[in-house]
Chains A and B, each alone.
Chain A
Amino acid sequence: MKGHHAVPFLTLRGCVLTDTHPDLVCRDLTKDFDGFRAVDNVSFEVPKGSFFSILGPSGCGKTTLLRMIAGFQSPSHGDLLIKGASMIGVPPNKRPVSMVFQHLALFPTMNIGDNVGFGLRQRGVGRNDIARRVEAVLERVGLPGVSARRIDQLSGGQKQRVAIARCMVLEPDVLLLDEPLGALDLKLREHMKVELKSLQAAFDTTFVYITHDQSEALVMSDNIAVMNHGRFEQIGPPHEVYHNPDTAFVAGFVGDANKIDATVSSVDGPKLTLTSNAGTRMQVEAAQSNLSAGQATQIFLRPEAIELSKSSDSFESNQNVSKGTVNAVLFNGANSSVIVRDPAGNLISVAMPQTGSFAELREGDEVFTCWRPHKARCYPAPQV
């Protein structure tokens, strides 16, 4: 994490607390294992009824964090409050949270009704009452009348909904979801994203969702925490995280970005002049980058921030314009992109304009790329 020391990690920007009693509060939560720290001083609050995602690559500590919230692991230090009450020392079966497991963990020896009713049975609810509530919750997830069926008679999406119903029937304060969509095929996953979001809205329960898939996090969440090496790099609403990443890691991990290594040539207030390692000069506006002349830097540029043109005439003077050749055209419907090789030989990914004006673009064609100085994000390069 060297090189990021200048970046404030625990920004709660965007996570505006409208509720005085957030459902879930973590304070300086830390988990040490033999020889390494899986979760490192993480603090955050999740307001009631919101969808909170923890996004990070595998091994970043998000699962450990989730398991601490569920109670399967106890923090080395720090505090964890649910509805204002500390959960330290409270076993998982006494916590007002429920968890949807990665592989759902439906009990294969029980039918669907017994699966959903398991939690109620543990609470000693009467048999008729259980049957009624199980049927009600199954209806809410859109699976009425399946109580008597076996688990293996359900499709993947239906199992997903049963797993959620099994938790929701207990009316938990917080529902934890551990990458439950990971095992589904793409089409179903896209469908379930929408469905999960609408289920969350329907139940009006706080969801804490962990995933390594940025698209899942961006689509469903009210707030996203981006996690890396046990720390939260940024917390904020999806658009904030996407458009104003706080750190180089967030910029690189959330969404696609072209990364350019460069050196600061001069600083003029918010305006920086940079020279890429390949020798191209660039103008960048970055108000709070804290960069000084001579410093190594990384520039992140979204593919959709770059404009394509067949001539350089239309560009305004303060833009970064360069000439290149089309290296490849990647057709992917609305997400089509063009890979452009600049004179220095770097490959740059550019979003294909939706106008259709570049439909004829072929490999080897000459094009001009252009981007506005305020579209790029600059961060100090990690010291190696």
Chain B
Amino acid sequence: MTSDTSKLGFYLLLAPIFLWLVLLIILPHIGLFMVSISEKIGPREYQTGFGNYATFFGEPLYWRTFARTAIMSILATALTLILGFPIAYYIAKLTRGRTKTTLFLMCMIPFWVSELVRTFGWMILLRETGVISTTLQSLGLISGPVELLYNDAAIMVGLVYTSILFMIVPLVTTLDSLDDSLIEAGYDLGGTTTSIMREIVIPHAMPGIVSGCIVVFMLSLGNYLTPILLGGKDSLWFTGMIYTQFITRFNWEFGSALGFLLLALSSAIVFLGLKMSRQSLSDTMGRT
């Protein structure tokens, strides 16, 4: 009797997550896949095949764009980590109480406005007639206006800014859980700041670093607005390409194939990253 009731309870509790998985994740992806393997041969005429995937690998433009997007996303992830780690370390280890809360909130302030507004903010700062260019001119540091927008560096700035919170939060959580006495023990045993970082702090923060990196990498790879608005005339982004296929070209079949490839290739990159950092996904997600 009891086991029957508890079983029922178990299935009832399982139902929402199961429904969520099936209805919102699995079914749409099956649909997407079905669309991606239909090739258009004429108006309202389709046949099943992997032609769309062949197009991706056959046309250098597409896989080059993907490679470019992936490399820039990895670079953005690395930059975010390099910038976010000291901030997270400062918040987690060098402040306490109200200062800590305040600093943490300050990291979140940019996220109270939409991504579009944040990106426009950067456009105002970086453009030729923008704040930075004008300030530099009035300080006499440069003679003419300088264009800081519409290049890959501007995309980097935007991506790092957009995703740094998602790096700081898991880092603060893992660094918070690092007992201060471990760091003191490191110094006590003759360690230097560098060796303590390398041997004690970073190994401890590794799950946070990896989960932060996964999230930031996925966010950067999947970002649409920032590369479109801040990027230059050569700055193709893979998501922009998918958007173009779906919306401008009415080519849902190829767009679906690109979407599926994005899913598969980004998963592969994350898997490689986990292998290289010798972390397991369950460790990473479980501990933060």
Contacts and interface: CB of A to CB of B under 8 A. Distances in A.
Q: Max chain B CB contacts within 10 Å: which of A91, A103, A110, A119?
A: A119
A109 B203 contact: yes
A99 B192 CA distance: 16
Nearest to B195: A122
B31 interface: no
A166 B182 CA distance: 13
Given A105-B181, A108-B204, A118-B186, A93 B199 contact: no
Contact of B182 (A97, A107, A121): A107
A65 interface: no
Contact-residue bracket for chain B: 10 to 19
Contact of A122 (B192, B204, B206): B192
Q: Is the interface of B mostly helix, strand, loop or mixed?
A: helix
Contact of A101 (B184, B192, B199): B184
A99 B191 contact: no
A98 B200 CA distance: 18
Given A103-B179, A118-B199, A167 B187 contact: no
A24 interface: no
Contacts of A123: 190
B189 interface: yes
B121 to A, nearest CB: 40
Contacts of A102: 181
Contacts, number: 65
A91 B189 CA distance: 11
B189 A98 contact: yes
A122 B184 contact: no
Interface string A84-107: 000000011110011101110101
Nearest to A163: B185
A110 B200 CA distance: 9
A93 B181 contact: no
Given A109-B203, A110-B199, A101 B187 contact: no
A91 B193 CA distance: 12
B189 A118 contact: yes
B188 interface: yes
Contacts of B199: 107, 110, 118, 121
Given A92-B188, A94-B190, 16 more contacts: A70-B184, A70-B188, A92-B184, A101-B185, A102-B181, A103-B181, A105-B179, A105-B181, A105-B182, A107-B186, A109-B206, A121-B199, A122-B191, A123-B190, A170-B189, A170-B190
28 contacts: A71-B187, A72-B184, A72-B187, A91-B187, A93-B187, A93-B188, A93-B190, A93-B191, A93-B192, A98-B188, A99-B185, A99-B188, A101-B184, A105-B184, A105-B185, A107-B185, A107-B199, A107-B200, A108-B204, A109-B200, A109-B203, A109-B206, A110-B199, A118-B189, A122-B190, A122-B191, A122-B192, A170-B189
Interface of B: 179, 181-182, 184-192, 195, 199-200, 203-204, 206
